[in-house]
Structure 1
């Protein structure tokens, strides 16, 4: 029974990188009508409201745990919502999409190391092998089959910002694991999303001041914003946080490697982009790496057993 529950968890978590992967195409179109920070703020404001409705429906909305965990919730909003999206949107202005994709997918590597050394999560060489194989697969895809391009990259302003995104997400992943032991997942996600959205709103007004454009966007853009808020944020965040509770930060973070792969498939089917041999090889390696990481059989540590 326990094995069946774990298998179901692994299958359900596949929706997370699917929804996040679909966000690339929709965001690209939205940015043709709205600036990045305004887009992010609008997305997370709507998402935060939806999460509050969800928490109320589940009767998880309670002000006492919010008050008791206020600063931790603010830290989640500052890392997983505000700083991640701020660093990412600014970083893309200074560097290529290839470099950005390579930097973002090292999230599982840093999460694995920090979770193992500082949070007591169990690991072994199979864990590192799975991370390495999946990272190789994504690298093959984003470099278009020419791994030599990786040696030609230099660290510039854009890369520094993108490493800020990586650091933000790693911190968010590790904080959420501790938080969900004492407070409900949906409530944590709702409050932290609203807090991060307010931060994005403030910075978008200061840096862009283009909220007057929101009322004049096309119906397609509005539907895409709703998709980002409902599926790529609310459902994906709830499932990701739930997954961390069930299988730990290391294994849950491994699913992030599937995000660019799903973005590729969606681009092929919805936007008519061509797929090459290196795409198939890269996707196979990535999926194999995620499978190895999630099927890793190690004994839980005391810290993990308490979760």
Structure 2
């Protein structure tokens, strides 16, 4: 059992990560008004890598990787960074911040489902219920696409961003068996940023729009790159190292809530009843699917009594 008193500083860091990641979705949505989506991604990731790599080199030095480790890190870079950032930036440019936050909130649930399928983990009725709840929330969000700035295509691309990140995360689990999570994060960010930069050089006729070098766009760009992406990843990995992944995942479910509030506060998007209903369904699905909490003891007892009565 984890002693809360001894890990207050870690819980504080994980709480900050929730705020950073929740606000980051809204930040990227805002920045797409000043930078093309496929220019924004390499700019953000290059800035984040420029902060991550020196910190890692200072802490661990330059660690040589085996061919297998390079393959794992490169695969993580392809899915978690390269493909994820492309889909994320295109999706956020084509949908509303609230829809993006809710769809990205399916991340832990989809991770559980794919891990169960690919790694042959037991698929219980609880996980089945979680799938129904989670995708019901997704469908409810999509049905509200009449909201200004939201489109069905944008919602779909944002969901692809979720899938690519989840696939990459499965490789992260394998890579961290022999490497520090901090090294895996920094190296994959470096490789991914190079790939995005090369793609951007071929695709982008322009790298910025009018007003992009004003105070607020630059300030938010730096905050998104250094804090939400780089520092957020470092703090998240620190939390996993200190208290374990299962405990850290408890905090991740708060990111969609922060993002919803941030979208309403910063982007002026209107909160509707279906956003709140979808948020409840998504969070409930995530909680059940990841096994964060179990059914209350009384509910389990009631289920057993009913089974005994009819069997």
Cα RMSD (Å) of the superposition? 4.1
Q: For 1:269-280, what aligned pairs fall within 5 Å after superposition?
A: 269-280=265-276
1:82 aligns to what?
Answer: 82
8 Å CA contact 2:24, 2:224 repeated in 1: yes
> SS at 1:63's partner residue?
coil
The residue aligned with 2:194 is 198
Can you give the 5+ residue segments of structure 1 that lack an aligned partner in the other structure? 299-307
Whether the 8 Å contact between 2:141 and 2:275 is mirrored in structure 1 is: yes
Q: 2-side partners of 1:40 and 1:135: how far apart?
A: 28
Larger radius of gyration: 2
TM-score by length of structure 2 reads 0.72
Residue 120 (structure 1) shift = 5.1
| TM-score normalised to structure 1 length | 0.73
Match of 2:259 among 244, 257, 263: 263
* Per-residue CA distance 1:112-131 (angstroms, 9 max, x = gap): 22212333556643344445
The aligned residue for residue 203 of structure 2 is 207
Q: Given the alignment, which residue of 269, 273, 292 partners 1:295?
A: 292
**Larger deviation, residues 235-244 vs 260-269:** 235-244
Unaligned runs of 5+ in 2: 296-311
Deviation at 1:85, TM superposition (A): 1.4
- For the 8 Å contact 1:138–1:257, the answer to whether it is kept is no
Q: CA separation of 1:94/1:274 partners in 2, compared to 1, >3 Å: closer, same or farther?
A: closer
Distance 1:99 1:291, change over 3 A: closer
C-alpha deviations, 1:3-61, integer Å up to 9, x for none? 7499977885454443222123322332222211111111111111211132134x223
Cα distance in 2 for partners of 1:26, 1:283 equals 20
Aligned with 1:2: secondary structure? coil
Distance 1:209 1:169, change over 3 A: same
* Counterpart residue number, 1:303: none
Shift of 1:217: 1.1
Distance 2:106 2:39 in 1: 27
In the TM superposition, what whole-angstrom CA distance separates every residue of 1:214-234 from its partner, at most 9, and x where no partner exists? 996112111111111122212
Partner of 2:37: 36
Distance 1:79 1:218 in 2: 32
| In the alignment, structure 1 residue 228 sits paired with structure 2 residue 224 | yes
Give 1:89 deviation, angstroms.
3.2
Matched residues, number: 287
Deviation at 1:260, TM superposition (A): 3.9
Distance 2:103 2:281 in 1: 18
User: In structure 1, what is the equivalent of residue 24 of structure 2?
Assistant: 23
